[in-house]
Amino acid sequence: EAAVTQSPRNKVTVTGGNVTLSCRQTNSHNYMYWYRQDTGHGLRLIHYSYGAGNLQIGDVPDGYKATRTTQEDFFLLLELASPSQTSLYFCASRDRATETLYFGSGTRLTVL
Amino acid sequence: QQKVQQSPESLTVSEGAMASLNCTFSDRSSDNFRWYRQHSGKGLEVLVSIFSDGEKEEGSFTAHLNRASLHVFLHIREPQPSDSALYLCAVSTTGNYKYVFGAGTRLKVIA
């Protein structure tokens, strides 16, 4: 089973702050995803990538940048954090054979 | 754009009673459906995947797909209090690498 590790587990920042969320997967999956989860909205796709150096725009990309530095590592960047970005963020990788997403444990971000 | 809706928003059942959750999707070309479970404060774990009309069973979880009616159901047989969690439906189309999630059904199983 895929192993997806996110860090930090919790993060508090202030409005205008700079935040980087990290994700590493160790099963050589090509596709990786960043989602945010908010009550009443389910999971919404922010960005995804199919390999190092690639970035695809998701459904709610405004205010977020992302970078895939290696096959394993995918980062989500909030350069000017706003309270509306307070959320639970999940990273996932996709198993090509089964097309199943495997998720990390999430990062809870609070923007004051 | 694909819309995925789940009902009910919350459901309480007694231990051992069948629990049935509903997921409705809008894109008729969808052919890739999954149910995930999320315990409070945890990540998502996949329960069952289904790709064609009919049923697919994984342990105590059975997915039932009817693409003509745009519904996919999850039935949980003899749920236990440990099955209390948020259940999420995810829908995709082969060749499209985006997965759309519903908002979830929060299940509570009481002893």
* Distance between CA atoms of residues B54 and B44, nearest Å: 24
Is A48 close to B104, i.e. CB distance below 8 A?
Answer: no
Residues in chain A within 8 Å Cβ distance of B45: 103
pLDDT interval class at B95 (50, 70, 90) = confident
Summarize pLDDT for A1-46 with one digit per residue, the tens: 559 999 999 999 999 999 999 999 998 899 999 999 998 888 999 9
Is B101 close to A98, i.e. CB distance below 8 A?
Answer: no
| B78 neighbors B12 (Cβ within 8 angstroms) | no
**Percent of chain B predicted with pLDDT > 90:** 88
Is B43 close to A105, i.e. CB distance below 8 A?
Answer: yes
pLDDT interval class at A77 (50, 70, 90) = very high
Sign of CA pseudo-dihedral A10, A30, A53, B1: negative
B57 pLDDT higher than 90: yes
**Percent of chain A predicted with pLDDT > 90:** 87
User: How far apart are the CA of A104 and the nearest CA of chain B, in angstroms?
Assistant: 6
A58 pLDDT higher than 60: yes
Is B34 close to A100, i.e. CB distance below 8 A?
Answer: yes
pLDDT interval class at B96 (50, 70, 90) = confident
- The 8-class DSSP code of residue B82 comes to G
Supply the pLDDT for residue A1: 53
Residue A89 near chain B (CB below 8 Å): no
Is B103 close to A40, i.e. CB distance below 8 A?
Answer: yes
Residues in chain A within 8 Å Cβ distance of B39: none
Q: What is the mean pLDDT of chain A?
A: 94
* Distance between CA atoms of residues A38 and B25, nearest Å: 20
